A and B are shown apart, each in its own frame.
Chain A
Amino acid sequence: MIKMVHRSSIPLHWRLYEPKYKLVGNKCLKCGESFFPPRNICPNCGRKGALKKIVFSGRGTIYSYTVIRTPLDGFEQQTPYVIGVIKLKEGPKIVGQIVDTEIRDITIGKEVKSVFRKIYDDSPSGLIHYGLKWVVIE
């Protein structure tokens, strides 16, 4: 039985607390590019870059999307679900579920905002995983 590592380890989730729950990324003061998730080194400037923590606004637009009809293990009850590539207002892109919106109302270019939601649970007695999803702003 295969298990994805990110499902079983509590420290693994706590390490990602800021980006996963609060949309914290970083920005290189030298080249000006913002990154999400935060990077350890600026891919443009290398060690000469200067990365500074920033909090993203949680606003963006739909860059692309798909409806997942054959789910990943653990997501069966949510199927079908929509996953979008969201282009954040500050520049970087992020993938996440688009929820609370009719599939037919989802199109490229629509504005979205982040919401805090349950992502899935391991089992009735296991970890409950939270994180950010996205809703369309009408």
Chain B
Amino acid sequence: MKKVAVIGVGETRFGEHWYKSFRDLAVEAGIKSMEDANLERKDIGALFVGNMSAGKFIGQEHVASLVADHLGFSGIPCIRTESACASGSLAFRQALLSLQSGAYDAVMVEGVEKMTDIIGSQASLALMGAGDQEWEASVGLTFPGLYALIARRHMHEYGTTPEQLAMFSVNNHKNAVKNPDAQFRFEISVEDVLNSPLIADPLHLLDCSPITDGAASVLLATEDFIKKKKIKNPIWVLGSGQSSDTVALQDRKSLTAMFVTIDAAKKAYKQSGLKPKDIKIAEVHDCFSINGLMAIEDLGFCKKGEGGKFIEDGNISLGSTVSINTSGGLKAKGHPVGATGISQIIEIVKQLRGECEKRQVDAKYGLTHNIGGSGASCLVHIFGKEK
């Protein structure tokens, strides 16, 4: 199979962008990635855009052409991908496959979401589109509610505590202080999390990722293109895994082990020839603290049920056993749903290039983990400095 690497990255700051529209954000991220790789428009064969719900957030569909148009790329083949909160990583994987197929030499992958043009309760309804409308939303279930049901069961089966969940958010915020692109650049304590309002028991406000505007863009290219253009510091895609499961939480065999994570990770590890112990940095999908905790179990960094203790013993902090969410993660860097997967990839690429300054970790390989819905889709990617 053709070797493919990330050769350029660029993203907007994550947060509330009152003065920037969907297209402004997408163009800003796209241009930054083009400048980073020093490429020109003629080098780009296709554009992939990951976006969950522009239709509900800004009333705009047809966003792949919209982004291409405003980047000055008209004429280019462009594709929008949607897999709820995993839309960004899905775009990345489709771009990867298009390069491996030989269709293109270099492509752009964007993730974009503009979430703050509607009020919070409307944004919640839009996000609930990732759940089952007929059987979950119809009884009043919310997204925090879905993950609260998972958290309660995890506590019941494994004795996981609210304090251990809180520690996941605490770690995210600590890392976000060192990331200039993060939405929440301040530290929080376990007490802050436990004293924040309950959203859906046992999850508190500070267990939940925020509503965020943002865009992120990466350029992917084949080995031949990289050689021809003499591009420095490519970060190679070593493994790509994707899986799917039931959309409705009630139909899952288990609430406490995410099949999609286990399955996508198995595929990515196999393709890369690497094992969990080889991974020293990972960006995991902590839309809620419980999902971050389960991810470290299901990705194989610790045993099932021991995620809480693993966190409590200091194994996920910067420079420890496995540095989790050095960017600040979804909780503190922010979660513009369609952009999140690409943003995770950018953090790993910057880490492997050695560009992360105060939050820099020494690692040969890095992993990204992006979930859609309450676990109906997942993509795992593994990256390395060497092919």
Contact = CB atoms under 8 A, between A and B. Distances in A.
A75 B139 CA distance: 9
A13 to B, nearest CB: 9
Interface residues of B, number: 38
Nearest to A85: B149
Contacts of B133: 4-6
Interface in B122-147: 122, 124-126, 128, 133-142, 144-145
B125 A94 contact: no
A68 to B, nearest CB: 5
Contacts of B203: 66
Contact of B121 (A37, A73, A108): A73
B122 A108 contact: no
B250 A69 contact: no
A95 B201 contact: no
Interface string A55-95: 00000000111111111111100100101110000001111
B270 to A, nearest CB: 24
B201 A97 contact: no
B250 A93 contact: yes
Contacts, number: 112
A2 interface: yes
A66 B152 contact: yes
Contacts of B255: 63-64, 85
B142 A72 contact: yes
B71 interface: no
B200 A67 contact: yes
Which of B134, B139, B198 has the most chain A CB atoms inside 10 A of its CB? B139
Contact of A94 (B137, B153, B201, B250): B250
Contacts of B135: 37, 94-95
Interface string A94-118: 1111000000000010000000000
A75 B140 contact: yes
Interface in B50-90: 56
A73 B124 contact: yes
B152 A71 contact: no
A16 B139 CA distance: 14
Interface of B is mostly: helix
A95 B153 contact: no
Contacts of A129: 138
A72 B250 contact: no
A84 B140 CA distance: 11
A85 B134 contact: no
Given A2-B126, A6-B138, A119-B138, A69 B152 contact: no
B150 interface: yes
B134 A67 contact: no
Contact of A70 (B125, B137, B142, B251): B142
Contacts of B138: 4, 6, 119, 129, 131
A108 B152 contact: yes
Interface string B78-120: 0000000000000000000000000000000000000000100
Contacts of A94: 135, 250
B194 interface: no
A1 interface: yes
Contacts of B3: none
A4 B148 CA distance: 22
A70 B249 contact: no
A96 B139 contact: yes
Nearest to B135: A37
A59 to B, nearest CB: 16
A131 B139 contact: yes
Given A67-B200, A83-B141, A97-B140, A72 B153 contact: no
B158 to A, nearest CB: 13
B199 interface: yes
A78 B197 CA distance: 18
B156 interface: yes
Interface string B244-259: 0000111100010000
A66 B201 contact: yes
23 contacts: A2-B126, A5-B133, A6-B133, A37-B134, A65-B149, A66-B145, A66-B148, A66-B200, A66-B201, A68-B144, A69-B201, A70-B124, A70-B144, A71-B140, A83-B139, A84-B149, A92-B250, A95-B141, A95-B248, A108-B152, A108-B153, A119-B140, A131-B138
Smallest CB-CB A-B distances: 4 pairs = A66-B148, A64-B153, A75-B140, A67-B201
Interface of B: 56, 118, 121-122, 124-126, 128, 133-142, 144-145, 148-150, 152-153, 156, 197-203, 248-251, 255
Given A68-B200, A83-B139, 12 more contacts: A37-B135, A66-B152, A68-B141, A69-B197, A69-B200, A72-B121, A73-B124, A93-B251, A95-B248, A108-B156, A119-B138, A131-B139
